[in-house]
A and B are shown apart, each in its own frame.
Chain A
Amino acid sequence: MRSKRIRLAALAASGVTLTLLAAACSGSSYSSGSKPAKASVFTYDTYTQVMIDGWDPATEYSNGIIAMSNMYQTLTHYNPVTRQVDPELATSWSHSANGLTWTFQLRHGVYFHTGRLMTAAAASAAILRAKKLGGGAGYIWDSVKSIDTPSQYTMVFHLSYPSPLDLEASADYSAYIYDTQAAGAGGSLTKWLNTPHDAGTGPYTLQTWNSGQEFEVILRKFPKYWGGWHGSHYTKVVFRVVPQDTTAAQLLRSGQVNFVEQMSPTLWKSLQGASGVTLASSPSWQNLLAQLNSRALSLPVREAISYGTDYAGIIAALGGAATQSSGIVPAGLFGHFTNLPSYSYDPAKAIRLLHSAGYGPGKKALKLTLTFTAGDSNEQVVASLLKSSLSRLNISLSVQPLAWATQWSKAKSGSAAAHQDIFMEYWWPDYADPYSWFVNLLQGEKQPYFNLSYYSSPPLNKQIGQVESLVATNRSAGSALYRQMQVEILKQAPIVFLFNTNYQYAMTKNFSGFQINPAYPNVIFAYDLHPSS
């Protein structure tokens, strides 16, 4: 049984502003009177708190990775250009023919921020702890039966079924390697971590945490980082919380922040040509889903909603921030197909389906509730458009913007009466693989966790249980199975796939080395950037 994980949908909405202290305020005419700072600081601007889930790298499951991925590292690292994983804390790896044994060689001379040397034993302890705790994306280690450490830098994984361990080791959640001995012999590691402290191997380490305040997290460089500090690097990274994206844009224009993660599409477009500002846009592996309550809504009603959604209208209204979904798996991932039998906006068909169920114009009105994460202007636009297009089908949609924690706990609650009819959230994978959508959103659950369409189909559950091993042993058969699952899911319509997100980033021009990596959503690896001053 796969363990469940938590995902924070609000990450997409946070505008993280990076303030660069090294560059003088470019573009602002009023003088702040500051001397140029000796430290090179990179400021990442977000609109919501960064460290919401706590400081444990094994159970972190939301925005925290934007800070954590600068303090912690993984064995492998996904390369979006080659679509393979590169060495990070592991330098090489291989697996047996039957896929049940994986051998990883670790990098020598890597030190944790606590001062201890990273060895195979230390890395195993971190991975086994993530697996044991099961929080965050701990399920990625489910296939691991045991880990041997025949030498100081060699890890041998014994799996209970074949699975792509090198890919899983590059995950953005629960794959961090850290010092499990940090709290000492008798101490509680969780407590030590939440003080907060960080026990990672990354280029930056925690300097200050001002919980609930504007300059929330400040990181400073770790001098003994194994990558070294030759050349031009940032010595500090600041995570700054700015609630309004219009303010964030203004801060960017005046050079007080280096990077704004996300803002409304027109605001982003308006920054075109602003001096000192550069824009970057690329497809992502993130999609916006409307999970339809399959216990409350019958199949004809779910199909009607799928036909009653104005997909093209949503794409048009979001002005470049969204692209049409094709099936469940976004482009760029294994398991993506462009020719699946998808829905299009067809109100006439929707009305016929509703009439067959006794609803629709002229018949009984249908009253539904939709919840989405408050503060995300794109979700709000989609909710308004849905409400509008469904009203033409005599469906009265009551839209409730809620804080993520409230939205999710309502959906998970033990009483089915409290459940919404439509749950809107973003989804993205834990590692570069389509498996995440299926195991989290569509596998039957006794207690609701992320399967918030409350959907259960025993044949599908079986297929989900098989697909990872199948991919590892017979890639084309695995691909066919993914296709088959998607076709069936689209037919059953437990989820409406509203759009795929296009990242729209805005940043200052005074650094180089920036690369968008969809495997690590909205993460900036500050070490890879080179300030131009």
Chain B
Amino acid sequence: MIETPTLPPLDASLPRGAALWRGLRANPLLAVGGALVLLIVVVAVLAPLIAPFPGDAGNASHPFSVLHAPSPAHWFGTDQVGRDILSRVIYGTRVSPVIAVIVLVIACAIGVPLGVAAGFLGGWVDELIMRITDIFLAFPPLLLALALASVLPASLTSLTIAIAAVWWPWYVRLLRGQAASVAGRPYVESCRALGISRRRIIFRHILPNALTPLLVQVSLDVGGVILTASALSFLGLGAQDPTPDWGLMVAEGQSYFTPDWWLVTFPGLAILVTAFAFNLLGDGLRDLLDPKRSLLL
């Protein structure tokens, strides 16, 4: 019977139980980040129950109570068509974070196979894929997303496509690195010599070990995608009224800003807190799982 050699893990895998607790205690930023993210998810899920005026996140309007300052009736005030800003900020948790998840799923769906192919197969495949990736990485993400979004009809769908189209290259690089380092190992040569398929190597060795750095990268990227999405909506290229997108709310509130500061302050704060939470989480995860890894973003 031939024993299938298993590869040792390349990186630390998720610690269990007590080790995890110790990790959290030593890493208060991770704990805070995780708690905030959990809070945001809970708010998003329970939005219809929490929001005082759920209809205001949709087509409702109250023209006789526009631009009311924050008060016990409306904790975050009302906007230019009388909608309750607190409710809209709450429902906003269902917009950008969800887009971020969709974008990253697409980015992984494109980037992971390409990266594995490049790293594992090497040769001209590697060269071709990496050159194309380099070209896309030559654009700062927001720049190319903006150019793409400006030629597509303004909507959340276009925004999602535009950001996904610029985000996948990072994942190609990440997976290429993982795959290449696995491919170079002597174990793999022996596996191949024993007739084990490439497919098996990819699915049993490369992907499981890539999972952790992938998870870290994704959690770090959520914040970045949320910022990019709100920037595009702020420029008018994404969400359209009455979608309770935070970036759109800041853009709409700009004309009223100086006397009616609440239109801009609370949605912007929501963007900041959400991006901050996910970045804290990502940062903390990376420290926990691989404290020695040098960072670029």
B66 / chain A contacts, CB cutoff of 8 Å: 316-317, 319, 381
Known: A266-B67, A317-B80. A385 touches B61 (CB 8 A): yes
Do B59 and A387 have beta carbons less than 8 Å apart?
yes
C-alpha gap A389/B255 in the complex (Å): 23
Interface string of B226-254 (1 = CB under 8 A from A): 00000000001000111000000000101
Q: Is A472 an interface residue (CB 8 A)?
A: no
Known: A267-B256, A380-B252. A374 touches B63 (CB 8 A): no
Q: Is A388 an interface residue (CB 8 A)?
A: yes
B259 / chain A contacts, CB cutoff of 8 Å: 266-267, 269-270
B256 / chain A contacts, CB cutoff of 8 Å: 264, 266-267, 377
B254 / chain A contacts, CB cutoff of 8 Å: 244, 246
Choose among B64, B67, B80, B236 the residue that contacts A374 (Cβ–Cβ < 8 A). B236
Do A385 and B255 have beta carbons less than 8 Å apart?
no
Q: Is A512 an interface residue (CB 8 A)?
A: no
Q: Is A249 an interface residue (CB 8 A)?
A: yes
From 354 to 410 in chain A, residues with beta carbon under 8 angstroms from any chain B beta carbon are 374, 377, 380-381, 383-385, 387-389, 391-392, 399, 401
C-alpha gap A377/B263 in the complex (Å): 14
Do A267 and B255 have beta carbons less than 8 Å apart?
yes
A374 / chain B contacts, CB cutoff of 8 Å: 236
C-alpha gap A245/B256 in the complex (Å): 9
What's the A-B contact tally at a CB cutoff of 8 Å? 73
- Least CB separation from B258: chain A residue: A246
Do B81 and A388 have beta carbons less than 8 Å apart?
yes
Do B64 and A316 have beta carbons less than 8 Å apart?
yes
Known: A313-B61, A317-B66. A385 touches B258 (CB 8 A): no
Q: Is B128 an interface residue (CB 8 A)?
A: no
Among A250, A266, A380, A392, chain B packs the most CB atoms within 10 A around the CB of A266
Q: Is A16 an interface residue (CB 8 A)?
A: no
C-alpha gap A80/B223 in the complex (Å): 58
Do A250 and B80 have beta carbons less than 8 Å apart?
no
- Closest beta carbon of chain A to B187's beta carbon, Å: 58
Q: Is A314 an interface residue (CB 8 A)?
A: yes
Query: What class of interface size applies to chain A in its complex with B?
Result: 20 to 34
Q: Is B283 an interface residue (CB 8 A)?
A: no
Q: Is A310 an interface residue (CB 8 A)?
A: yes
Known: A391-B59, A401-B236. A385 touches B260 (CB 8 A): no
Do B241 and A384 have beta carbons less than 8 Å apart?
yes
Choose among A246, A310, A387, A401 the residue that contacts B63 (Cβ–Cβ < 8 A). A310
Do B257 and A384 have beta carbons less than 8 Å apart?
no
Interface string of A304-329 (1 = CB under 8 A from B): 00000010111011010000000000
Do B63 and A385 have beta carbons less than 8 Å apart?
yes
- Least CB separation from A386: chain B residue: B61
Known: A399-B240, A401-B236. A316 touches B258 (CB 8 A): no
A246 / chain B contacts, CB cutoff of 8 Å: 254-255, 257-258
B64 / chain A contacts, CB cutoff of 8 Å: 313, 316-317
Do B257 and A387 have beta carbons less than 8 Å apart?
no
From 46 to 81 in chain B, residues with beta carbon under 8 angstroms from any chain A beta carbon are 59-61, 63-64, 66-67, 80-81
- Closest beta carbon of chain A to B261's beta carbon, Å: 10
A314 / chain B contacts, CB cutoff of 8 Å: 63
Q: Is B82 an interface residue (CB 8 A)?
A: yes
- Closest beta carbon of chain A to B179's beta carbon, Å: 45
Choose among B59, B60, B82, B255 the residue that contacts A377 (Cβ–Cβ < 8 A). B255
- Closest beta carbon of chain A to B56's beta carbon, Å: 10
C-alpha gap A381/B61 in the complex (Å): 10
- Closest beta carbon of chain B to A14's beta carbon, Å: 13
A391 / chain B contacts, CB cutoff of 8 Å: 59
C-alpha gap A109/B59 in the complex (Å): 63
Interface string of B78-101 (1 = CB under 8 A from A): 001110000000000000000000
A384 / chain B contacts, CB cutoff of 8 Å: 61, 80-81, 241-242
Do B242 and A319 have beta carbons less than 8 Å apart?
no
- Least CB separation from A245: chain B residue: B255
C-alpha gap A32/B201 in the complex (Å): 69
Do B241 and A399 have beta carbons less than 8 Å apart?
yes
Do A317 and B81 have beta carbons less than 8 Å apart?
yes
C-alpha gap A313/B62 in the complex (Å): 8
C-alpha gap A387/B243 in the complex (Å): 12
Choose among A244, A313, A317, A387 the residue that contacts B242 (Cβ–Cβ < 8 A). A387
Known: A317-B66, A384-B242, A387-B242. A249 touches B258 (CB 8 A): yes
Do A313 and B59 have beta carbons less than 8 Å apart?
no
- Closest beta carbon of chain B to A272's beta carbon, Å: 10
- Closest beta carbon of chain B to A12's beta carbon, Å: 14
- Least CB separation from A384: chain B residue: B81
- Closest beta carbon of chain A to B240's beta carbon, Å: 7
Among B64, B66, B258, chain A packs the most CB atoms within 10 A around the CB of B258
C-alpha gap A384/B78 in the complex (Å): 14
C-alpha gap A388/B59 in the complex (Å): 5
Known: A381-B80, A387-B242. A316 touches B67 (CB 8 A): no
- Closest beta carbon of chain A to B84's beta carbon, Å: 14
Among B61, B242, B252, B260, chain A packs the most CB atoms within 10 A around the CB of B61
- Closest beta carbon of chain B to A330's beta carbon, Å: 22
- Closest beta carbon of chain A to B201's beta carbon, Å: 51
Known: A244-B254, A317-B81, A399-B240. A266 touches B260 (CB 8 A): yes
Among B66, B80, B257, B260, chain A packs the most CB atoms within 10 A around the CB of B80
Among B63, B64, B254, B259, chain A packs the most CB atoms within 10 A around the CB of B63
Among A267, A269, A374, A392, chain B packs the most CB atoms within 10 A around the CB of A267
B61 / chain A contacts, CB cutoff of 8 Å: 313, 384-385, 388-389
Do A377 and B81 have beta carbons less than 8 Å apart?
no
- Closest beta carbon of chain A to B157's beta carbon, Å: 14
C-alpha gap A488/B36 in the complex (Å): 62
B82 / chain A contacts, CB cutoff of 8 Å: 317
- Closest beta carbon of chain B to A404's beta carbon, Å: 15
- Least CB separation from B155: chain A residue: A398
- Closest beta carbon of chain B to A374's beta carbon, Å: 7
Choose among B60, B63, B255 the residue that contacts A264 (Cβ–Cβ < 8 A). B255
Choose among B81, B241, B258 the residue that contacts A270 (Cβ–Cβ < 8 A). B258
A264 / chain B contacts, CB cutoff of 8 Å: 255-256
A267 / chain B contacts, CB cutoff of 8 Å: 255-256, 258-259
Do B67 and A388 have beta carbons less than 8 Å apart?
no
C-alpha gap A264/B81 in the complex (Å): 13
C-alpha gap A388/B66 in the complex (Å): 14
From 264 to 279 in chain A, residues with beta carbon under 8 angstroms from any chain B beta carbon are 264, 266-267, 269-270
Q: List 29 A-B contacts (CB under 8 A).
A: A244-B254, A246-B258, A249-B258, A263-B255, A264-B255, A264-B256, A266-B259, A267-B255, A267-B258, A270-B259, A310-B63, A313-B61, A314-B63, A316-B64, A317-B64, A317-B80, A317-B81, A317-B82, A319-B67, A380-B241, A380-B252, A381-B81, A385-B61, A385-B63, A387-B59, A387-B241, A392-B59, A399-B240, A399-B241
Binding site for B on A (CB under 8 A): 244-246, 249-250, 263-264, 266-267, 269-270, 310, 312-314, 316-317, 319, 374, 377, 380-381, 383-385, 387-389, 391-392, 399, 401
Given contacts A246-B257, A264-B255, A383-B241, 20 further A-B contacts (CB under 8 A): A244-B254, A245-B255, A267-B255, A267-B258, A270-B258, A270-B259, A313-B64, A314-B63, A316-B63, A317-B66, A317-B81, A319-B67, A381-B66, A381-B81, A384-B81, A384-B241, A384-B242, A387-B59, A387-B241, A388-B242
Instruction: List the 3 closest pairs (A to B, CB-CB), nearest first.
Output: A313-B63, A270-B259, A388-B61
